[in-house]
């Protein structure tokens, strides 16, 4: 299965994904610019993505915990999600997301 990820520079990448992986892990594994500093424990909001509106309703709604963490992204939009909270499954084959600026790794010094 595949996901389509647009990076912060606007380039779209087609990434192979595995069932049961978190979308954050797929993005990180392919080396795109994602900080994910807490490693997937829904504690930092630095894996923030915008979900393509066509896919928004196919995802499980965010938990209260994820909503709370989304309060700490300064570039929140209605389609904001934390990619560590999206688990890959057959139904999400073809998912499209865009990496938020707030998910960027620190720029090179």
Partner 1 sequence: MSGNEIVTDVVIIGAGPVGLFAVFELGLVDLKCHVIDILDRPGGQCAELYPEKPIYDIPAFPEISGQGLTDNLMKQIQPFGAEFHFNQMVTNCEKLEDGSFRVTTDADEVFLTKVIVVAAGGGSFQPKRPPVEDVEQYENKSVFYAVRKMDDFRDQDLVIVGGGDSALDWTLNLEPLARSLTLVHRRDQFRGHADSVNKMRALVEEGKINFITGQLGRLEGENGQLTEVYLKTAGGELGVPATRLLPFFGLTMKLGPVADWGLDLHENALIKVDTERFETSVPGIFAIGDINWYPGKLKLILSGFHEGALMSQAAKRIVHPDEKIVFQYTTSSSKLQKKLGVA
- The whole-angstrom separation of Cα 83 and Cα 59 is 11
CB of 37 to partner 1, least distance (A): 5
Tell me whether residue 108 is exposed, middle or buried, using C-beta atoms within 10 angstroms of its C-beta: 0 to 12, 13 to 18, 19 or more. exposed
* Cβ closest to partner 1, residue 1 vs residue 73: 73
* Cβ closest to partner 1, residue 12 vs residue 67: 67
CB of 21 to partner 1, least distance (A): 18
DSSP letter at 22?
B
User: In 10 A of CB 87, how many CB atoms?
Assistant: 14
CB of 69 to partner 1, least distance (A): 9
CB of 36 to partner 1, least distance (A): 10
* Cβ closest to partner 1, residue 44 vs residue 87: 44
- The whole-angstrom separation of Cα 108 and Cα 11 is 20
Binding site for partner 1 (CB under 8 A): 35, 37-39, 41, 43-46, 67-68, 70-76, 101-102, 105-106, 108-109
* Cβ closest to partner 1, residue 47 vs residue 92: 47
- The whole-angstrom separation of Cα 29 and Cα 19 is 14
């Amino acid at each position: 299965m595949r996901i389509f990820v647009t990076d912060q520079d606007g380039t779209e990448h087609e990434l192979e994904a595995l069932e049961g992986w978190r979308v954050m892990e797929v993005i990180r594994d392919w080396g795109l610019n994602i900080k994910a500093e807490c490693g997937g424990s829904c504690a930092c909001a630095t894996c923030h993505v915008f979900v393509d509106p066509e896919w928004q309703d196919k995802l499980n709604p965010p938990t209260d915990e994820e909503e709370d963490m989304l309060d700490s992204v300064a570039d929140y939009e209605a389609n904001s999600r934390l990619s560590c909270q999206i688990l890959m499954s057959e139904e999400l084959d073809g998912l499209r997301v865009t990496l938020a600026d707030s998910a960027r790794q620190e720029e090179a010094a």
